[in-house]
Homo-oligomer: A and B are copies of this chain.
Amino acid sequence: MKRTAFFISDGTGITAEALGQSLLAQFEKIEFERITLPYTDSLEKARSVVERINRAAEVDGCKPIIFDTIVNSEIRVEIRKSTGYMIDIFGTFLEPLEQELGSKSTYTVGKSHSIASKASYDRRIEAINFALDNDDGARTRHYSDAEIILVGVSRSGKTPTCIYLALQYGIKAANFPITEDEILDQRLPEALRTHREKLFGLTIDPERLAVIRNERKPNSRYCSIQQCNYEVEEVQLMYKRERIPFLNSTDYSVEEISTRILMMTGIERKVR
């Protein structure tokens, strides 16, 4: 049986989506059609959302599940007129929180993913530019500005992780690929030696690495399982020899790799 799930917000809808997805993930047997309706910020839009929910209810023959993070209570009341089953985040938690905090809610829309301050916005953009400028060992002269330098063999997940750290947390992350030349040298690459305390290693299962590399350069030596085995083994020896903390990225999403790195290194997020 298919059911429709709506993520509704007067802002981006990112929080409603994240929360709704976590909850729906607990019901693996049910197939959900997921619809995000951001910027539902007027009664008029709310009414058309209600129509859409009611239509889905008719088509599915059962109540759609609604996850909403609408701050404005008038709009929330309007949505509640639909035939959907509402998981009403603000409606549920705001009043008890007001009581506990002894303070009134300001009912401000869409705070969590808006520009909280120009300063933190600038910091994120600066960090993104830093990640792009210092990707893949392209430049090493800015490493003194880096908060972390990810190292690892080609295609072990360095670039997406750097970008996520920048975008989500405003952290300046560079990355440096460990190639066969570096491995043969049996020493830490020169550019990294003076930044030892900033290094963090990524590793990956050789089988998975071979699959990923094969998509990039099919049937090459580069993607052979022998080569992947060799590089991964050597790079892990390097991490141990040089006492570089490291993480196996194979089964982790970019979010998991990034949050685990923060936890392991204690690096503080620069923006919230």
Q: Are A12 and B167 in contact (CB under 8 A)?
A: no
Q: Are A97 and B128 in contact (CB under 8 A)?
A: no
With an 8 Å Cβ cutoff, the count of chain A residues facing the other chain is 71
Q: Are B18 and A259 in contact (CB under 8 A)?
A: no
Per-residue B-contact encoding for A9-27, CB less than 8 Å = 1, 0 else: 0011111011101110111
Per-residue B-contact encoding for A29-53, CB less than 8 Å = 1, 0 else: 1100010001100000000000000
* Interface-located stretch among A145-153, A157-165, A183-191, A224-232: A157-165
**Complex: how many Å from CA A103 to CA B23?**
13
Q: Are A85 and B106 in contact (CB under 8 A)?
A: no
Of B30, B254, B256, which is within 8 A of A101 by CB?
B30
**Complex: how many Å from CA A19 to CA B68?**
11
Number of copies: 2
Which residues from B are CB-within-8-Å of A103?
27, 29-30
CB nearest neighbor in B for A157: B125
Which residues from B are CB-within-8-Å of A135?
132
Q: Are B100 and A63 in contact (CB under 8 A)?
A: yes
Per-residue B-contact encoding for A241-272, CB less than 8 Å = 1, 0 else: 00000000001111110011001000000001
How close is A168's CB to chain B, nearest CB, in angstroms? 8
The answer to the question of A194 belonging to the interface, with a C-beta cut-off of 8 Å to chain B, is no
Which residues from B are CB-within-8-Å of A14?
18, 255, 259
The answer to the question of A81 belonging to the interface, with a C-beta cut-off of 8 Å to chain B, is no
How close is A15's CB to chain B, nearest CB, in angstroms? 4
Which residues from B are CB-within-8-Å of A27?
97, 101, 103, 105-106
Of B18, B94, B113, B160, which is within 8 A of A112 by CB?
B18
Q: Are A114 and B63 in contact (CB under 8 A)?
A: no
Q: Are B101 and A23 in contact (CB under 8 A)?
A: no
Q: Contacts A12-B256, A111-B21: A94 and B26 contacting too (C-beta < 8 A)?
A: yes
Which residues from B are CB-within-8-Å of A160?
124-125, 128, 167
The answer to the question of A3 belonging to the interface, with a C-beta cut-off of 8 Å to chain B, is yes
The answer to the question of A89 belonging to the interface, with a C-beta cut-off of 8 Å to chain B, is yes
The answer to the question of A222 belonging to the interface, with a C-beta cut-off of 8 Å to chain B, is no
Which residues from B are CB-within-8-Å of A110?
256
**Complex: how many Å from CA A31 to CA B212?**
46
The answer to the question of A181 belonging to the interface, with a C-beta cut-off of 8 Å to chain B, is no
Q: Contacts A71-B26, A160-B124, A160-B125: A259 and B108 contacting too (C-beta < 8 A)?
A: no
